[in-house]
Structure formats: structure tokens, C-alpha cells
Amino acid sequence: MSLYPAALGPALADVRLLALDVDGVLTDGALYYGAEGELLKAFNVLDGLGIRLLGYADVEVAVITARRAPALERRLRDLSITQALYGVENKGHALESLMSKLGLVPSQVAFVGDDLLDLPAFSRAGVAITVPNAHAMIRRRADWITHAGGGHGAVREIADALLAARDALDDACRRLLSDVGESAEHQPPR
């Protein structure tokens, strides 16, 4: 089974920026509130490692979100994501601004969203990606719908596909293992 739709291979290979919505993409979309009213979020570790792997192929990761939450800010710090736009009402304009800042054109950008506020960014990105539980209008406009749901490994699925499309997945995995002091030869066989 391919990691991505075959027709998208060349487009995925050109991506230099993966821009993500948060609620429903990096999380499952549920909002949890603590006893003091603080907003809590749950993130998937598979997604985090996928984001880390993208760094080995010089793919920048950014977040464009309507919300700001301390839990999100902490997660982005943990993942070394420096391109974060909070409180964004028009994600299309925000994505255009980010592309300009980074010197990128639409064909070098993939955007992942799950609801109506993400449509303006879909129209500006070279590749529009969504998750299976996204709103129907988003699913109809997406170039690719992941198998994994938001907050359940969708970003890892996308990261693996971006790396595989540029034939860099194995190298990124080897480099990660080397950085943590382990060689691929010491790993159990597949």
C-alpha cells in the first residue's frame, strides 16, 4: 500500500512548508477544560516524531490557528516549531504572508485543515490535505484525505508521505536514530 495517492507524488516531493491547523489536525478536535477553566489539549507522539523527521529533509512546519492556548505553545516549543500564527481569522491571508516571509510559492506548500475556516488556506496551498473526520466541504476540496484521523497520527502519515515522495524517509529515520545514539543495524528486522 502506498503512503500517499500516487498522482500526488511529484507535488508532495516539492513541498518545503507543511502548514497545519491545530484543532482537528494536531488534536482530535475535542476541547478539554481543567478545574480552573484552563484549556487542555492532547497531542499524538507519532505526529511529533513525524514533525521531527521532516526537519532532516529541510521541510519547515508551521501552525496557523484561530486559538491560542498554553498547552499548544508548550507543544510547539517541544517540537521546535517556530512558525506559529495564533488568533488567525483568515488562514488564507496568513498562509500567503508566511509564504512571502519564507520566499515560497504555492507549489512548495501543503496545508492541512479540517473545517470551513481552513478553506481559504486550501485555495492558496499547492497541496490541500485533510483528515477523514473533516467537514464534508473540506473533504470535497482536499487533494488527499489521510487514513489516520486528526490527533491520531494524521500528521505522521503526512510527514512519512512527504519524505517518501522525495525518497528521504529511510535517510531521515537513520539520521534520527543516529542522533539518539542508535544505529539502524541494531533495530529488529521488519
Which sign does the torsion angle of CA 90, 158, 41, 24 carry?
positive
pLDDT of residue 189: 46
Give yes or no for a contact between 66 and 89, defined as CB atoms under 8 angstroms apart: yes
Q: What pLDDT is stored for residue 188 in this prediction? A: 45
Contact 19, 62 (CB under 8 A): yes
Q: In the Cβ-directed half-sphere of 106, how many Cα atoms lie within 13 Å? A: 12
Q: Is 18 left (phi over 0), alpha (psi -120 to 50) or beta?
A: beta
pLDDT value at residue 71: 85
Residue 79 backbone phi and psi in degrees, to 5: -95, 0
Give the residue among 19, 27, 20 at the shortest CA–CA distance from 133.
Answer: 27
Alpha carbon separation from 96 to 84, 102, 115, 130 (Å, rounded): 14, 10, 19, 19
Is residue 187 predicted with pLDDT exceeding 60?
no
Task: Give the global pTM.
Answer: 0.93
Question: Which residue type does 87 have?
Answer: G
Closest of 3, 2, 6, 14 to residue 127, by C-alpha: 14
Rounded to whole angstroms, the Cα distance separating 158 from 27 reads 15
pLDDT band at 182 (very low <50, low <70, confident <90, very high): confident
Over the stretch 32-55, which tens digit does the pLDDT of each residue have? 899 998 888 899 999 999 999 999
pLDDT tens digits, one per residue of 85-124:
999 999 999 999 999 999 999 999 999 999 999 999 999 9
Strand 32-33 to 39-40 pairing: antiparallel
CA distance 18 to 112: 8
| b/e per residue 55-71 (b: at least 16 CB within 10 A) | bbbebbbbbbbbeebeb
139: part of which helix (H) or strand (E)?
A: helix 136-141
At residue 190, the pLDDT reads 47
What pLDDT is stored for residue 183 in this prediction? 63
